[in-house]
C-alpha cells in the first residue's frame, strides 16, 4: 500500500466509506487533475496505476458528461475482471438556472460504449457515493470480484471416482478448462487410505485433530478408533489440499469409504469446509465449485452447507427440508443443540460412524447450484429463511422457507438441476 501511494493512488476512501473488506485504488492528483480521467493521457496513467496495484475489479463513476473514449480505454484494459458503472446525482440548479453537471448523459455514453464492445458490466444506479445503499452495492460488487478471482483458475480436488449410480455427478472436465481455466487434480481412494493407515496414532497433528473433534462435539456413541480414523482422513485430505494448492474438493463418501476404510467421511469433510476448503459429497465437482463461489461471496467468513433439495413440509406451505447425511460445519449449529457424531442414518453399519448431526441455526440463507449443459454454464441463485423447528431428525438439516416453493421446484426440474445445492447463511 505504501508503494502504491507513491505511484499516485489513494486508499483512504474504503475506510472512510466503512468498506473494511475492500481496498480501493484510485488515481490522485499526482496522476490526473483532481483524480479524474479526462483524456487518453489520464487513461494511460490510470491503467499503469491499476496494473501495478493488480486490481481485480473496475468501478467506473461518471461525474459529468465527459469524454467516453478514455473510459473505454481503461475498461478494455481490464475487461477480464468484473466491472460496475454508476452515475452521480446532481446538486441544485445555479441561480442562473444552469445545471452543475450532466452525469446521466455521461453514464449512457459509458454504458453504450461497454455494450458496443460486448464488455459485461453491472449498474449501481445514480447515487451519491455517501449513501448506504451505494456502499452496499460496492460491497456486493467487491464480493463478486473476490468470487470471480477465486473461481477462475480454481484447482479442484477429486478424491475417488463418482458413485456409479450417480450420473447426476458426471461433469465435462474439458469445459471447466475452456471456460474457467480450472484444473481437476485426482487422488485415488487407494492412495488416500494407504496414506491414512501409515499415520501413527501418536502423531502430534493427529492428537491435535482428535482433541479438536472432541471439544464441543458429543462423541459418546462413537468408538475411539472411528474418531482416530476421521482424524487420519482429515490429515490426508489436508495434506492433499496443501500439496496441490486446492480451492475445494469432491469426495467419494460411500460405499468404499465405509467398506474399506471403515468410517463415513462426513465429519472430516465438514471440518475441511469450516476451515475454508469446501468439500462436496459424492464427487460432485460442480457442487464443490458452487460451495466455493458462495464461500468467496461471503468474503471467506461463512462456510456453506452442501445439501440435498428434499421434501416440502408436511405441515406448512413454502417450506422445505434442506438436508444431508452429516457433513455440516459445527459452527453452523443451532443454539442449544450439541453436534453429535453418529452412524450414517442410511448405511447403519458399524463401519459408517462419522456423520456430524444437528439442526442449523436460523437466519436468512442463499441457495445456489451450478450446472453445465452443451458447454453452457448456469447458476441457480435464490434466497430463503431457516426457521426453527423442534423436530429431531437424523443427519444435518434445516427447514427453509421460500417465497414460492412450487416455482423453485419447477425451476429445478425444468432447468436440469440435480438434487445437490449449496446453502450459506447471510452474515
> What is the domain range of residue 28?
2-150
Does residue 144 sit in the same domain as residue 269?
no
Angle 197-201-204 from CA coordinates, rounded to 5°:
120
Does residue 288 sit in the same domain as residue 250?
yes
101, 128, 150 — which closes off a domain? Answer: 150
Find out whether the peptide bond into 255 is cis, omega within 30 degrees of 0: yes
Report the CATH number that the domain containing residue 46 is assigned in CATH: 3.40.50.1070
Decide if 277 contacts 245 (C-beta within 8 A): no
Report the CATH number that the domain containing residue 288 is assigned in CATH: 3.40.275.10
Does residue 230 sit in the same domain as residue 258?
yes
Decide if 119 contacts 75 (C-beta within 8 A): yes
128, 150, 172 — which closes off a domain? Answer: 150
Does residue 323 sit in the same domain as residue 298?
yes
Does residue 92 sit in the same domain as residue 228?
no
Does residue 146 sit in the same domain as residue 202?
no
Does residue 39 sit in the same domain as residue 138?
yes
Neighbouring C-beta atoms of residue 308, cutoff 10 Å: 17
Does residue 263 sit in the same domain as residue 143?
no
Q: Please give, one letter per residue, the 3-state secondary structure of the chain.
A: CHHHHHCCEECCHHHHCCCCCCCCCEECCCCCHHHCCCCHHHHHHHHHHHHHHCCCCEEEEECCCCCCHHHHHHHHHCCCCCEEEEEECCCCCCCCCCCCCCHHHHHHHHHHHHHHCCCCCEEEEEECCCCHHHHHHHHHHHHHHHHHHHHCCCEEEEECCCCCCCHHHCCCHHHHHHHHCCEEEEECHHHHHHHHHHCCCCCHHHHHHHHHHHCCCECCCCCHHHHHHHHHHHHHHHHHHHHHCCCEEEECCCCHHHHHHCCCCHHHHHHHHHCCCCEEECCCHHHHHHHHHHHHHCCCCCCCEEEEEEEECCCCCCEEEEEECCECCHHHECCCCCCEEEECCCCCCCCCEEEEEEEECCEEEEEEEEEEECCEEEEEEEEEEEECCCCCCCCEEEEEECCCHHHHHHHHHHCCCCCEEEEEECC
Number of domains in the chain: 2
Each residue's pLDDT, cut to its tens digit, for the chain (427 residues) gives: 233 333 344 444 565 556 777 899 999 998 999 989 999 999 999 999 999 999 999 999 999 998 999 999 999 999 999 999 999 998 888 899 988 888 999 999 999 999 999 999 999 999 998 999 999 999 999 999 999 999 999 999 999 999 999 999 999 999 999 999 999 999 999 999 999 999 999 999 999 999 999 998 999 999 999 999 999 999 999 999 999 999 999 999 999 999 999 999 999 999 999 999 999 999 999 999 999 999 999 999 999 999 999 999 999 999 999 999 999 999 999 999 999 999 999 998 999 999 999 999 999 999 999 999 999 999 999 999 999 998 999 999 999 999 999 999 999 999 999 999 999 999 7
CA distances from 234 to 50, 156, 356 (A): 40, 17, 14
Does residue 170 sit in the same domain as residue 125?
no
113, 129, 150 — which closes off a domain? Answer: 150
Amino acid at each position: 500500500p505504501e508503494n502504491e501511494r507513491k505511484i499516485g493512488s489513494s486508499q483512504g476512501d474504503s475506510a472512510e466509506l466503512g468498506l473494511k473488506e475492500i481496498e480501493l485504488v484510485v488515481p490522485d492528483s499526482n496522476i490526473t487533475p483532481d483524480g479524474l480521467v479526462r483524456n487518453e493521457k489520464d487513461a494511460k496513467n490510470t491503467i499503469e496505476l491499476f496494473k501495478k496495484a493488480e486490481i481485480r475489479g473496475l468501478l467506473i463513476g461518471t461525474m459529468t458528461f465527459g469524454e467516453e473514449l478514455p473510459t473505454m480505454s481503461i475498461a478494455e484494459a481490464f475487461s477480464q475482471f468484473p466491472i460496475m458503472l454508476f452515475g452521480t446525482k446532481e446538486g441544485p440548479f445555479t441561480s442562473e438556472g444552469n445545471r452543475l453537471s450532466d452525469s446521466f448523459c455521461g453514464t449512457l455514453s459509458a454504458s453504450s460504449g461497454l455494450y458496443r464492445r460486448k464488455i459485461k458490466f453491472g449498474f449501481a444506479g445514480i447515487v451519491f457515493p455517501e449513501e448506504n445503499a451505494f456502499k452496499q452495492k460496492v460491497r456486493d460488487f467487491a464480493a463478486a470480484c473476490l468470487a470471480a478471482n477465486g473461481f477462475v483458475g480454481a484447482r479442484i480436488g477429486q478424491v475417488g471416482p463418482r458413485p456409479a449410480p450417480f450420473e447426476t455427478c458426471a461433469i465435462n472436465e474439458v469445459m471447466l478448462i475452456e471456460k474457467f481455466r480450472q484444473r481437476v487434480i485426482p487422488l485415488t481412494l487407494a492412495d488416500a487410505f494407504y496414506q491414512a493407515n501409515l499415520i501413527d496414532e501418536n502423531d502430534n497433528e493427529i492428537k491435535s485433530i482428535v482433541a479438536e473433534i472432541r471439544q464441543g462435539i458429543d462423541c459418546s456413541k462413537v468408538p475411539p478408533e472411528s474418531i482416530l480414523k476421521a482424524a487420519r482422513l482429515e490429515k490426508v485430505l489436508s495434506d492433499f489440499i496443501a500439496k496441490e494448492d486446492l480451492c475445494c474438493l469432491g469426495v467419494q463418501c460411500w460405499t468404499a469409504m465405509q467398506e474399506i476404510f471403515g468410517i463415513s467421511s462426513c465429519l472430516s469433510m465438514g471440518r475441511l469446509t469450516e476451515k475454508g476448503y469446501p468439500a462436496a459429497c459424492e464427487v460432485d465437482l460442480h457442487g464443490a465449485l458452487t460451495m466455493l463461489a458462495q464461500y468467496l461471496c461471503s468474503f471467506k467468513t461463512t462456510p456453506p452447507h452442501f445439501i440435498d433439495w428434499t421434501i416440502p413440509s408436511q405441515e406448512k406451505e413454502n417450506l422445505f427440508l434442506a438436508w444431508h447425511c452429516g457433513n455440516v460445519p459445527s459452527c453452523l449449529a443451532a443454539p442449544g443443540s450439541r453436534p453429535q457424531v453418529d452412524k450414517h442414518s442410511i448405511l447403519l453399519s458399524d463401519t459408517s460412524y462419522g456423520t456430524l448431526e444437528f439442526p442449523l441455526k436460523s437466519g436468512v440463507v442463499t441457495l445456489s447450484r451450478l450446472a453445465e449443459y452443451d458447454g453452457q454454464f448456469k447458476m441457480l441463485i435464490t434466497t430463503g429463511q431457516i426457521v426453527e423447528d423442534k423436530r429431531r431428525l437424523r443427519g444435518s438439516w434445516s427447514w427453509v422457507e421460500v417465497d414460492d416453493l412450487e416455482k423453485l421446484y419447477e425451476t429445478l426440474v425444468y432447468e436440469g438441476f440435480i438434487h445437490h445445492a449449496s446453502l450459506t447463511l447471510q452474515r
